[in-house]
Copies of this chain bind each other. A is one copy, B any other.
């Protein structure tokens, strides 16, 4: 079977997931009686003037939705390209990874953090989940992806950045220090460190945008600099994207914290005579498939005490 024949041999079983408001769908089915996932996405419209000149001539079967004064709404049929990602044979793990996930917005109090979340973070860290970060920092792995390095952090492209699309610009600043697992570990004593970190990350990312990627007009203010809570891995790292670029769940409140807001929260703790961000309530978006929902917030919601780590 050629790769192209995979799609013609696909037998549909069920709609597995819908993303991008229906502009991308994931189908579960079989190819040769083996499980297969097909991810179907619309591709961007062409943007060259030549193609755009003829684009509106390619629409057929215009059908009126409505008209009001100078506004007209139509649907039409368009012959356009789609992208197909096929995973075959797909394992149960693939099938679960691409399934839709429910999210919950939970309140993590200081007491829930200390009693239930922190021991799980500690367990995850001791189980080797951040070894790959240490390997990058120590020079043992992925050295060619490091774009910038100073005493406090390295800058590398995020996995999802293709290096070309300005909208999708996404760098990661990984802290060289290993004692901060998440924003919860930030203490009032880290205030100067954090302010310098924001300034230096902005400068380095701006210079890379200008010099490596060729966007000469980029200024410090064009950058959004934020951290995740919960992060995907528990070693302090900071995301850098363009303001007004692609916005997804990774930039949304409940998941993302502007680094300056973190500073402001911490300044509040300092003025209040407190220690750090383990003392504040945080509203956090948690996937119901994550261990934090399954082991902590799910049981708490049902009035049960979470079990030991």
Known: A7-B59, A53-B12. Is A83-B74 also a contact (CB below 8 A)?
yes
Q: Interface digits, A220-262 against B, CB 8 Å rule (1 contact, 0 not)?
A: 0111111000000000000000011011110111101111110
Copies held by the complex: 2
Q: Please, which residue of chain B has its CB at the minimum distance from the CB of A269?
A: B268
Closest residue to A259 on the B side, CB-wise?
B283
Judge whether B12 and A55 touch: CB under 8 Å: yes
Task: For the complex, count residues of A whose C-beta is within 8 A of B.
Answer: 107
In the complex, residue of chain B having the shortest beta-carbon distance to the beta carbon of A64: B3
Docked complex: A261-307 residues within 8 A CB-CB of B: 261, 263-265, 267-269, 271-274, 280-283, 285, 301
Residues of B within 8 A of A283 (CB): 258-261
A104 contacts B247, C-beta separation under 8 Å? no
Chain B residues within an 8 Å CB radius of A74: 3-4, 6-7, 83-84, 86
A49 at the interface (CB under 8 A from B): yes
A90 to chain B, nearest CB (A): 7
Q: In this assembly, does A25 line the interface, its C-beta being within 8 Å of a C-beta of chain B? A: yes
* Closest B residue, CB atoms, query A168: B21
Q: How would you classify the secondary structure of chain A's contact residues: helix, strand, loop or mixed?
A: mixed
Contact with B along A22-61 (1 / 0, CB 8 A): 1111010000000000101011110101001101110100
Beyond A62-B7, A247-B247, is A85–B73 a contact (Cβ under 8 Å)? yes
Question: Assuming A62-B84, A65-B83, what are 6 further A-B pairs, CB within 8 angstroms?
Answer: A21-B165, A74-B86, A75-B81, A77-B81, A78-B79, A106-B221
Closest 9 CB pairs of A and B: A268-B268, A22-B44, A271-B272, A103-B244, A260-B283, A72-B86, A4-B62, A104-B221, A42-B42
